[in-house]
Amino acid sequence: MSGTEHDCKLISINDLRPIDWFTGKRLPLTEDEAPECDRCGRKHAIVWTVQTPRGIVTVGSSCGPRLLNGWNPEKFELKKARAAMRERAETEKTAKLDSIAQPFASVVSALEMPQPRIAEEQNFPELVEEWQIGDARCSVLLNMKPERPDLDPHESKRMRIEWIRHTISKLVYESNPRVDDEDFSSPRNREIEMRNARIINRAVAIALQD
C-alpha cells in the first residue's frame, strides 16, 4: 500500500481500553476486545484510523508511518484527534456513572414520599424545628412568629430533596457497603465512600429531573 502526506488523513485516535468511571484510569483490554493491526497483525489498545487512497486502515500509532511509507499526520491533526479522544473518555465516564445511578433514581421516583411531620424529638428546639419524612430528618429554621405557619414551597422542596437523598443513600450503601472488618478510614472504605457519594449525587440529580 502506498501513501503520501497529501493523500492520507488521520480520522481519529481511539483508546479501546475500558475506562473506570471513578478514577478515569484505563483498564486492561482483553485479547478478544482488541482489533488486529492492518500492518503487523498484533493487538493494539490505542489505534489510529486513517483514510488512505485504498480505503480506511486501522493501525497502532507506531505502525501508521511504517505502513504508509513514512506518512505522519500533521501536528494540528494529532492535537485535534487527541482532544477528541479525551472528550470521548469524559463522555464515556459520565455515561457509565449515569448507568449506575439511574436504577437508584428510578426506584425512588416510583415511591410516594411520606407526609412530613414535626419530629417528636427536637435536638435543637431553640434554633430549628426538625421534621420527619419517613426515616429522614430535615431541619427548618424557626421564625419569630408565635405560631409557625405551614411550610412554604422552598421548605417543602428541601424536604423532598432530603428524603430523596436519604432514601437513595440507603439503597446505594446496601448495594456497595463498607468493609466491616476494616477501619472506617481505611483506603478501601475511603474509596467506597467517595464512589458512593458520586453515585448518590448523580442519582439524586436524575430523580429530581423526573
Parse the chain into domains and list their residue ranges.
9-73, 109-209
Could you list the pLDDT tens digit for every one of the 210 residues in the chain?
444 445 788 899 999 888 999 988 888 887 677 777 877 878 888 888 888 888 888 888 777 766 677 777 888 888 999 999 999 999 999 999 999 999 999 999 999 988 877 776 666 656 666 777 787 877 766 554 445 555 566 777 888 888 999 999 999 999 999 887 778 788 889 999 999 999 999 999 999 997
Q: What does each C-alpha distance from 159 to 47, 117, 179 come to in angstroms?
A: 50, 11, 31
Question: What's residue 127's pLDDT?
Answer: 62
State how beta strands 9-15 and 46-52 pair. Answer: antiparallel
Distance between terminal CA atoms of the chain?
Answer: 55
pTM, entire model = 0.73
Other Cβ atoms less than 10 A from the Cβ of 104: the count is: 24
> Can you list the alpha helix ranges (DSSP code H) found in 8-138?
63-67, 75-109
d(CA 33, CA 55): 23
Per-residue pLDDT tens digits for 43-55: 888 888 888 888 8
How far apart (Å, rounded) are the C-alpha atoms in residues 35 and 201? 37
pLDDT of residue 208: 93
Spatial distance between the Cα atoms of 98 and 199, rounded to a whole number of angstroms: 8
Let me know: does 155 contact 141? Beta carbons within 8 Å.
Answer: no
Running DSSP on this structure, what letter comes out for residue 116?
P
